Amino acid sequence: MSKPPVRVLIHGANGRMGQALLRLAAGHDDLQVVAAVSRRVEQRVQDGVPRFASRELGGVPAFDVAIDFSLPEGFDGMLAHCVSRGAAFVSGTTGLSDSQLAALDAAAQRIPVLWAANFSLGVTVLNLLVERAARDLAEWDCDIVELHHIHKRDAPSGTALALGAAAEQGGATPRYASVRAGDIIGEHTVQFAGIGERIELAHRATSRDVFAQGALTAALRMADRAPGRYGMRDLLAAG
Ligand SMILES: NC(=O)C1=CN([C@@H]2O[C@H](COP(=O)(O)OP(=O)(O)OC[C@H]3O[C@@H](n4cnc5c(N)ncnc54)[C@H](OP(=O)(O)O)[C@@H]3O)[C@@H](O)[C@H]2O)C=CC1
Ligand SMILES: O=C(O)C1=N[C@H](C(=O)O)C[C@H](O)C1
């Protein structure tokens, strides 16, 4: 007998990422979007998916996992809601405060939690490469340059900070520079500069679909996990 589809809630549904998630989710037989949540709701049902405003969470049907790509103002409410429903929480929202990041650890005592600054396979591997390079190049200057679209609010990007943490793990001390321009999806370069030579490790996303597809895959894999804190590296290890 085939498994029933994983029931997914998408939070931040009106946004750039929310729209990509809804479009790509429609092509997955193994999941069903049972609720699309955002601040404002114009139509009660759109493309067969029930819509809810964030103040109406009490009326949302049962779900196995929420995928949150909202903003820091929306994040706390959805995390708390997942804990109260016993559902898994997968989030890519960036610009979070230290206390919001700590709240992920507290929630992970009760539900499966995966937060990642970047859901692309390329950046997941880039983090490993940066940590490795920093181990041998800790004395070199380390600079992280990130470019994003003009609407992005947080800087440095979540990915830049995660790459910085990987560099620090290897012993380097990174500096950050941010550019906000046009419709750039997301580009990150980690430069290690010595005397007479330098290395650049770079990732360029040309479509938001890579983040959305990564988050849908993560949601499918998190739905039936034990409570705990997970990262993209755990998904790599899972194959
Ligand atoms: N980890 C990753 O791989 C990636 C992470 N991101 C991050 O995802 C987040 C969303 O990005 P993007 O889609 O471009 O942003 P948008 O501004 O396009 O969308 C944000 C969404 O969040 C909703 N929202 C905002 N505030 C609240 C609130 N207080 N309560 C409930 N919902 C709220 C908005 O609803 P409404 O429209 O109704 O106001 C909107 O649907 C950002 O933090 C971004 O940095 C982005 C891409 C990849
Ligand atoms: O806001 C975005 O667009 C993106 N945000 C993430 C970040 O802050 O690193 C990931 C990606 O680069 C796109």
197-221 pLDDT per residue, tens: 999 999 999 999 999 999 999 999 9
Task: Determine the average pLDDT of the residues in 164-183.
Answer: 98
3-state secondary structure of 3: coil
* 46 and 134 share one domain: no
For a pLDDT cut of 90, what percent of the chain falls above it? 95
* 26 and 111 in a common domain: yes
What pLDDT does 1 receive?
Answer: 67
Positive or negative, the CA dihedral 208, 211, 217, 221 is: negative
Q: Identify the helix (H) or strand (E) that includes residue 24.
A: helix 16-25
Q: pLDDT at residue 19 above 60? A: yes
Could you tell me if the CB of 92 is within 6 A of ligand 1? yes
Phi-psi region of 86 (alpha: psi -120 to 50; beta: other; left: phi over 0): left
Spatial CA neighbour of 12 closest among 69, 65, 87, 73: 69
Cα 41 to Cα 167: distance, rounded to the nearest angstrom:
42
Q: Is the pLDDT of residue 55 over 70?
A: yes
As given in the structure block, the two tokens for residue 164 are 């910085």
Q: Do 94 and 11 belong together in one domain?
A: yes
**CB-facing half-sphere around the CA of 208: CA atoms within 13 A:** 17
- Residue 206, judged by CB atoms within 10 A of its CB (0-12, 13-18, 19+), counts as exposed
Judgement on whether residues 229 and 144 belong to the same structural domain of the protein: no
The tokens describing 221, both together, are 């894999």
Is the predicted pLDDT of residue 12 greater than 90, yes or no?
Answer: yes
In a domain, 83, yes or no: yes
- pLDDT higher than threshold 60 for residue 239: no
- CA-based Rg of the chain, rounded to a whole angstrom? 18
Provide the domain limits for residue 94. 6-115+209-237
Q: Which residues of 158-232 form beta strands (DSSP E)?
A: 174-180, 186-193, 198-205, 228-230
Task: Record the pTM.
Answer: 0.97
116 lines ligand 1 (CB under 6 A): yes
Q: Give the residue-averaged pLDDT of 151-180.
A: 98
- Of 183, 189, 182, the C-alpha closest to 145 is 189
Mean pLDDT score, 41-67 = 96
Pocket test for ligand 1, best of 52, 69, 91, 232 (most atoms within 8 A of CB): 69
Q: What is the ipTM of this complex?
A: 0.98
Task: Specify whether 201 is located in the same domain as 214.
Answer: no
Confirm or reject: Cβ of 213 under 6 Å from ligand 2: no
Residue 199 lies in a domain: yes
Nearest to 88 by CA among 192, 238, 216, 236: 216
14 CA from centroid of ligand 1 (Å): 8
**The predicted structure's pLDDT at residue 2:** 81
**φ, ψ at 90 (rounded to 5°):** -120, 120
By most ligand atoms within 8 Å of CB, the mutation choice from 151, 183, 211 for ligand 2 is 211
If one counts the domains in the chain, the total is 2
Residue type present at position 39: R
Same domain, 96 and 139: no
Q: Is 218 left (phi over 0), alpha (psi -120 to 50) or beta?
A: alpha
Say what the pLDDT of residue 91 is. 98
Q: Which residue has the tokens 């206390």?
A: 99
Asked if the structure places residue 194 within a domain, the reply is: yes
By C-alpha distance, which of 81, 73, 70 is closest to 111?
A: 81
Q: Is the pLDDT of residue 123 over 90?
A: yes
Q: Does a structural domain hold residue 1?
A: no
- For the chain, what is the mean pLDDT? 97
